[in-house]
Amino acid sequence: DDPLTIPLLAPGVDVISWRMGKPELDGFGLERVAGEEYLCHGFQQLLPAAELGLVGRHNIANALAALALGYAADLPLDSMIATLRQFRGLPHRCQQVAEIAGVRYINDSKGTNIGATIAALEGVGADRNILLIAGGQGKGADFSQLQPAVAAHCKQVIVLGEDAPALRAALQASAPVSPACSMADAVAQAAELARPGDCVLLSPACASFDMFSGYVQRGEMFCRAVEQLREGGV
């Protein structure tokens, strides 16, 4: 149902579609039944969206696209559904690392640019329930592009790193913003402010080389701080 892709279809070509809405008869889509969303193939409910191993609405879209591709290649639906339940994604890419006291902690350290962070916010956000940890080397990025997503989804932004002042200036009208001196400090602040149902999201919108050897180390430091929090040490 993307207006940019539909015109590319040539006459007479077999089409297997997917969409973030009611599917076509032999296509894949998303339907709400009795208050719960299901990934569907035509009229068949395949699995509840809540049972996907990946988090975020963008990953629901990815799952539907993968189902359509696999179906076109004659892969068994049962096997694909089992894989979607089990696959937890790659490290540092919207990876849920813990749930503590009803608060989810998500590591999206690979979100090194504004577009990736917007996708993460829109993917995991529900109203204003996100405490976002962001910052690093922005490399001249226009952080004002984050304003709509931050205003829609964030209850707090915690900034750290080289471009923390620029992030704070760009976002302070969209959500409360506070500085952190380290990843452990950022996680501790977020945990203090979070309430059950909230989500602490590391999605920096920046490169990592001001404080870390790379996005992997940054994500590992986030995971370590969350684990210390679980153990009562933050």
pLDDT in tens, 87-141: 988 899 999 999 999 999 999 999 999 999 999 999 888 767 999 999 999 999 9
Give the pLDDT score at 182: 98
Side-chain-facing half-sphere of 122: CA atoms under 13 Å:
14
The strand pair at 28-33 and 36-41 is best described as: antiparallel
Spell out the SS3 assignment of 108-142: CCCCCCHHHHHHHHHHHCCCCCEEEEECCECCCCC
DSSP label at 23?
P
The domain defined by 95-230 folds into Protein-Tyrosine Phosphatase; Chain A (3.90.190)
Q: What are the extents of the domains in the chain?
A: 6-86, 95-230
pLDDT value of position 234: 53
pLDDT confidence of residue 8: 73
- In the prediction, which pLDDT does 41 show? 98
Asked, colleague to colleague, whether 6-86 and 95-230 share their fold, the answer is: no
Per-residue confidence (pLDDT) for residue 189, from 0 to 100: 98
- What pLDDT is stored for residue 67 in this prediction? 98
Check residue 233 and give its pLDDT.
54
Residues of the chain with pLDDT under 70: 1, 127, 233-234
b/e burial code for range 117-137 (CB count within 10 A of at least 16 → b): bbbbbebbbeeebbbbbbbbb
Report how far residue 8's alpha carbon sits from residue 186's, in angstroms, rounded to the nearest whole number.
Answer: 46
Q: Which CATH architecture has domain 6-86?
A: 3-Layer(aba) Sandwich (3.40)
